Amino acid sequence: MNEIIKVDGLVKRYKELIAVDNFSMTVNEGEILGLLGPNGSGKSTTINCILSLLEFDKGTITIMGKEMTPKSYDLKSQIGVVPQEVSVFEELTVYENIDFFCGLYIEDKNERKKRVQEAIDFVGLEEFKKFRPKKLSGGLKRRLNIACGIAHKPKIIFFDEPTVAVDPQSRNKILEGIEQLRKEGATIIYTSHYMEEVEQLADRIIIIDKGQLIAEGTVDALKSMIKKSELIRIIVKGVAEEDVEKIRKLNNVYSVNYDGKELKVEAGHGNNVVEVIKVLEEKGYKMKGVYSEQPTLNDVFLELTGKELRDD
């Protein structure tokens, strides 16, 4: 795959604080790259440096093989941005907002008209196109925010936490839309601290914390990096301490907790559920429920950094 964006050794300092610390990454053409990290981890700062909005202290950034600068107008015309906050003009209607921001890229009125209508259809705002933003719900405003960033059909689109404070219905619509954009050929850089979204969307994920790259790879590759692969929860009463100890000594099991009602077993790769159930059945315990949970990106983050990914 072609490298469409390359960041090498990026450093950004705010006085004493190092927001981005020797960060390097590449984005391949046509992929959805998830940039995952807690609030304040340096995701947005990295994006803003790539967009040449922020001065940085060290490093190089190239887009399509060319150095990105504030005056790289040819590169800028290929880029679309969906900022974290809803960034539209309250005095203009939905249609006018999209037309205005599309007009920053496309001069031809007829071409613009076509693209604005396509963007409206894409985000499902047809019936609201004469509305002012203040009359839209939070989810619809987010959709408008997206439409303003994609109407000119950019090759590279940056989504900076586009689903913050959005209802589930709108969130699904937004995620489906992003998937559709990729299918149409766009390269997408998606930052979020919602791991489920990134897991659902991204072809490749970069985990960032304190401005440093913690890990990168596909979802499966990231999950395979950690020891824990499964959490088994069994609803069962009266398990004796000696039986809990027996489970603890099973292969792959490295943590067992029992509170008298629920048995929690953390295990590595292997046929763990069968082994645990076998021990309990042998002793005649009546199990009311058995659940097996696969590790999440939060588990990956927790194991790599020692803290939770989601802080809200």
Q: Which residues contact 111 (CB under 8 A, 6 or more apart)?
A: none
Instruction: Note whether 22 binds other proteins by CB under 8 A.
Output: no
Q: How far is the CB of 117 from other proteins (least distance, A)?
A: 16
Instruction: Note whether 57 binds other proteins by CB under 8 A.
Output: no
In the window 170-209, what residues touch other proteins (CB under 8 A)?
Answer: none
Q: Which of residues 77 and 255 has its CB atom nearest to other proteins in the complex?
A: 77
Amino acid at residue number 165: A
Residue 175 C-alpha from the chain's centroid? 10
Answer for which of 7, 10, 35, 51 binds other proteins (CB under 8 A) is 51
Instruction: Note whether 18 binds other proteins by CB under 8 A.
Output: no
Q: Which of residues 99 and 209 has its CB atom nearest to other proteins in the complex?
A: 99
- The count of residues interacting with other proteins (CB under 8 A) is 37
Q: Which of residues 187 and 272 has its CB atom nearest to other proteins in the complex?
A: 187
For 279, other C-beta atoms within 10 Å of its C-beta total 16
Exposure string for 189-227, b = 16+ CB within 10 A, e = fewer: bbbbbbbebbbebbebbbbbbbbbbbbbeebeebbeebe
The dihedral sign for the CA sequence 112, 117, 118, 122: positive
By C-alpha distance, which of 72, 54, 80, 60 is closest to 6? 60
Contact at 8 Å (CB) between 1 and 31? yes
Instruction: Note whether 52 binds other proteins by CB under 8 A.
Output: yes
Q: Which stretch binds other proteins (CB under 8 A): 94-102, 178-186, 187-195, 298-306?
A: 94-102
Contact string 103-142 vs other proteins (x = CB under 8 A) = xxx-x-x---------------------------------
Instruction: Note whether 91 binds other proteins by CB under 8 A.
Output: yes
How far is 291 from 176, CA to CA, in rounded Å?
A: 29
Amino acid at residue number 229: S
Q: Which of residues 101 and 258 has its CB atom nearest to other proteins in the complex?
A: 101
- For 280: left if phi > 0, alpha if psi spans -120 to 50, otherwise beta; the answer is alpha
Answer for which of 5, 7, 27, 88 binds other proteins (CB under 8 A) is 88
Contact string 144-173 vs other proteins (x = CB under 8 A) = ----xx------------------------
Q: Which of residues 40 and 217 has its CB atom nearest to other proteins in the complex?
A: 40
- Strands of the sheet with 156-160, listed across from one edge: 79-82, 156-160, 187-192, 32-36, 204-209, 212-217
Instruction: Note whether 16 binds other proteins by CB under 8 A.
Output: no
What is the DSSP code (8-state) at residue 125?
-
How far is 13 from 49, CA to CA, in rounded Å?
A: 12
Instruction: Note whether 70 binds other proteins by CB under 8 A.
Output: yes
Instruction: Note whether 30 binds other proteins by CB under 8 A.
Output: no
3-state secondary structure of 245: helix
Q: Which stretch binds other proteins (CB under 8 A): 48-56, 162-170, 228-236, 283-291?
A: 48-56
Q: How far is the CB of 202 from other proteins (least distance, A)?
A: 22
Interface residues toward other proteins, by CB under 8 A: 14, 44-45, 48, 51-55, 70-71, 73-74, 76-77, 79, 81, 83-89, 91-92, 96, 99-101, 103-105, 107, 109, 148-149
